[in-house]
């Protein structure tokens, strides 16, 4: 009997295992699918205060945990494409700073479908929204920006490019678990300003991590695009100086003086070079460095003026600009902050759910993140040299009126890559006008947007829509004047 019992038990164990496997195949995925669907729907934004009734906008917002141990979570705002979202690519957008909000800038004042209106009381539909071409995902990063938070205060003391890339990658992995229907979509990364660091570094991390994953676990990265992007400190500083001189912002004497005392071979300026460059920045006190032919915001309310920080280091590093919108209001940023500090707006977005920012206002840029950010990467140019060889699509664009990260510097560092030229420098068109110029290299396209400043989608929305459409469809910019 004892022997028989042992035999029976041995036979039953495989049977029990088979039952468990069957359950895991038939029941658990269904339960997981329901949980995932419920989690998605929990993030759905039904309607925002002041949102126009038409056209309908499918949107989601909420938090994705990127570090459970530290209680670190990043806030996102996601818009499905206006038509055929199941067949459109997924585009992640990142703003720079470091420390500025992709919700406040990218989503609400540049390329999202719902833009904060000119007095901060509501929203208006953006007919040039990039949701015409893609599903749009906006991420507030790094932690401490906008609604993103950590329960571990020391996190705020350790932020650098590597920290941001790891958190952004963790966000993507967990976001795709919440929205698995987008996992197989073509995926692109985009951004502007200091995101010139974030974007290629995240692209490189995705590319490297994909090598060690099964095919169904990989992120389907197809390319990245950056605008007025800080990339290489030497060429960016060189371009800034030459732009100021060539656009009559500084004198011949100051230009020659800076050239004689600055090598621009370090990230931070010191000594005579720091003093000389402070004289350059001083010339921008009365005009907008981010669009040299735009009106300057002269109200004391704006915390985003290029001269709001007095130290040379902060002035040299900071990448903040003012919104130019309908009616051309260069002080628009205050309206954005007014809108996102409304309690019903935050509730509708599932933001600030723990009330962690109750003792301060939500701000479009975080001075604390900027002040504590360890900017130690002199150049990300080697990442371009690496990734263009992989076959992923890479575009670099510049509004040609930006004095902070001028196209002059971008042309310098792109040329320094030494890539073979496919098509020579030439104009592209929109509505019978030259919209900008471009050059195609093997593996990279560099283009300008005529009359655009630091934030091209808000300065030149129609042109920006054409460029992102061309990028996503792997189509050459229109070269016919019609």
Q: What is the CATH number of the domain that holds 152?
A: 3.40.50.1820
Q: State both tokens at 220.
A: 């389907």
Number of folded domains in the chain? Answer: 1
- Residue at 387 is within a domain: yes
* Measured distance CA(395)–CA(227) in Å, rounded: 9
- Residue at 16 is within a domain: no
**Contact partners, residue 327, CB within 8 Å, separation at least 6:** 118
* Measured distance CA(330)–CA(305) in Å, rounded: 10
- Residue at 217 is within a domain: yes
* Measured distance CA(409)–CA(396) in Å, rounded: 12
Active site residues: 193, 402, 454
Total residue length of the chain: 482
Give SS3 for 189.
Answer: strand
Q: State both tokens at 295.
A: 């009106």
* Per-residue pLDDT tens listing for the chain (482 residues): 333 333 322 333 333 333 333 333 444 467 667 778 888 999 999 999 999 999 999 999 999 999 999 999 999 999 999 999 999 999 999 999 999 999 999 999 999 999 999 888 999 999 999 999 999 999 999 999 999 999 998 898 889 999 999 999 999 999 999 999 999 999 999 999 999 999 999 999 999 999 999 999 999 999 999 999 999 999 999 999 999 999 999 999 999 999 999 999 998 899 999 999 999 999 999 999 999 998 887 765 444 433 333 333 344 444 433 333 334 456 778 899 999 999 999 999 999 876 655 556 899 999 889 989 998 899 999 999 999 999 999 999 999 999 999 999 999 999 999 999 999 999 999 999 999 999 999 999 999 999 999 999 999 999 999 999 999 999 999 998 86
- Residue at 441 is within a domain: yes
* Measured distance CA(81)–CA(113) in Å, rounded: 10
Instruction: Taking the CA atoms of 366, 371, 374 and 376 in sequence, report the sign of the dihedral they define.
Output: positive
How far separated are the first and last CA of the chain, in Å rounded? 93
Pairing of strands 135-140, 72-79: antiparallel
| Beta partners for residue 44, in sequence order | 60
**Contact partners, residue 187, CB within 8 Å, separation at least 6:** 89, 90, 91, 92, 219, 220, 221, 222
Domain that holds residue 138: 59-232+377-472
Q: State both tokens at 25.
A: 């195949």
Give SS3 for 317.
Answer: helix
- Specify the long-range contacts of residues 2-7, CB closer than 8 Å, at least 24 apart: none
* Measured distance CA(272)–CA(263) in Å, rounded: 11
- Residue at 392 is within a domain: yes
- Residue at 15 is within a domain: no
- Residue at 279 is within a domain: no
- Residue at 156 is within a domain: yes
E strand or H helix at 4: helix 2-26
């Amino acid at each position: 009997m004892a022997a028989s019992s042992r035999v029976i038990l041995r036979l039953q164990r495989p049977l029990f295992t088979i039952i468990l496997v069957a359950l895991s195949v038939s029941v658990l995925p269904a339960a997981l699918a329901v949980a995932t669907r419920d989690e998605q729907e929990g993030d759905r934004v039904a309607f925002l205060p002041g949102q126009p009734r038409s056209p309908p906008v499918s949107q989601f917002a909420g938090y994705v945990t990127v570090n459970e141990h530290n209680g670190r979570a990043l806030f996102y705002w996601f818009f499905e494409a206006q038509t055929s979202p199941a067949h459109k690519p997924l585009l992640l957008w990142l703003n720079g700073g470091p420390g500025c909000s992709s919700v406040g800038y990218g989503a609400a004042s540049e390329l999202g479908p719902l833009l904060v209106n000119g007095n901060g009381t509501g929203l208006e539909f953006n007919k040039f929204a990039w949701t015409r071409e893609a599903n749009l995902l906006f991420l507030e990063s790094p932690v401490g920006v906008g609604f993103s938070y950590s329960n571990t205060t020391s996190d705020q003391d350790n932020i650098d490019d590597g920290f941001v890339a790891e958190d952004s990658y963790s966000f993507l992995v967990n976001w795709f678990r919440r929205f698995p229907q987008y996992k197989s979509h073509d995926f692109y990364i985009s951004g502007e300003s200091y995101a010139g660091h974030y974007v290629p570094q995240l692209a490189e991390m995705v590319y490297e991590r994909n090598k060690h994953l099964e095919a169904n676990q990989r992120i389907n990265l197809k390319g990245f695009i950056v605008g007025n992007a800080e990339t290489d400190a030497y060429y960016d500083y060189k371009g800034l100086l030459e732009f100021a001189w060539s656009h009559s912002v500084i004198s011949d004497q100051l230009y020659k003086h800076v050239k004689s005392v600055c090598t621009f071979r370090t990230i931070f300026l010191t000594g005579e070079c720091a003093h000389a460059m402070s004289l350059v920045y001083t010339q921008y006190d009365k005009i907008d460095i981010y669009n040299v032919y735009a009106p300057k915001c002269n109200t004391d309310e704006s915390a985003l003026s290029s001269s709001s920080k007095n130290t040379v280091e902060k002035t040299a590093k900071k990448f903040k600009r003012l919104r130019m919108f309908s009616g051309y209001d260069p002080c628009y940023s205050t309206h954005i902050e007014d809108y996102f500090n409304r309690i019903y707006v935050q509730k509708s977005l599932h933001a600030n759910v723990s009330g962690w920012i109750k003792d301060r206002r939500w701000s479009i840029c975080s001075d604390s993140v900027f002040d504590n950010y360890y900017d130690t990467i002199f150049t990300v140019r080697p990442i371009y040299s690496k990734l263009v060889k992989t076959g992923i699509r890479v575009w670099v664009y510049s509004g040609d009126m930006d004095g902070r990260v001028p196209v002059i510097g971008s042309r310098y560092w792109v040329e320094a890559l030494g890539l073979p030229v496919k098509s020579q420098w030439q104009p592209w068109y929109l509505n019978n006008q030259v919209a900008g110029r471009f050059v195609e290299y093997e593996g990279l396209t560099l283009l300008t947007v005529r009359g655009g400043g630091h934030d091209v989608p808000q300065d030149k929305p129609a042109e920006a829509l054409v460029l992102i459409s061309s990028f996503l469809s792997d189509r050459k910019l229109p070269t016919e004047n019609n």
